Amino acid sequence: MKTYVTVTKKSLAAVFLITLLVIIVGGQFYAADNPVVNGKTNAERVSYIKSLALTPDEDNAKSKKIFIPDTFSDVYKNYNDLQKQSGYDLTLYKGVKAVLYTYPVGKIKQDSDDEYYVNLIVYNGRIIGGDISSVNFYGEMLPLTKQER
């Protein structure tokens, strides 16, 4: 017994429109969860750090290639929770290679002598996450949000 499916122009157009709608709506949710911040150039990264009310030391910036794992350990899940505080979500980038840029920013709190670094994770020329970290061994790690001084 053979089964035949008849496809009309109307049904084909309806499937196309539904697919297009899903792509558009899905893209809006994706964009809402991940702010689009360009980070391809040093100037773009420095500008972003300055928007956080921090002053990066461009001369001592470093970079290294990293791999965002396919499966998140508890440590990575906690780190991603920090990302979500600043509007990023690394689960969207599981299994990709990215670049981690680290910029010294000096002291950011008046009541502390701790020195801090800003770490920016860049994938395809866009900042997809990062943190502000104290160099102190027991120091704090903060989300990428504007710092009050």
Tell me, what's the pLDDT at 27? 40
pTM summary value: 0.76
- Contacts of residue 47, Cβ cutoff 8 Å, sequence gap at least 6: none
Q: Which letter does DSSP use for residue 146 in this model?
A: P
pLDDT at residue 30 in the model: 41
Q: Mean per-residue pLDDT for 124-149?
A: 90
Determine whether 102 is exposed, middle or buried from the number of CB atoms within 10 Å of its CB (0-12, 13-18, 19+): middle
Assess whether pLDDT exceeds 50 at residue 31: no
Per-residue pLDDT tens over the stretch 41-80: 999 999 999 999 999 999 999 999 999 999 999 999 999 9
pLDDT number for residue 113: 84
* Contact by Cβ (8 Å): 106, 60: no
**What distance separates the 2 farthest-apart alpha carbons in the chain?**
81
Residue 142: which of 125, 123, 67, 114 has the closest Cα?
114
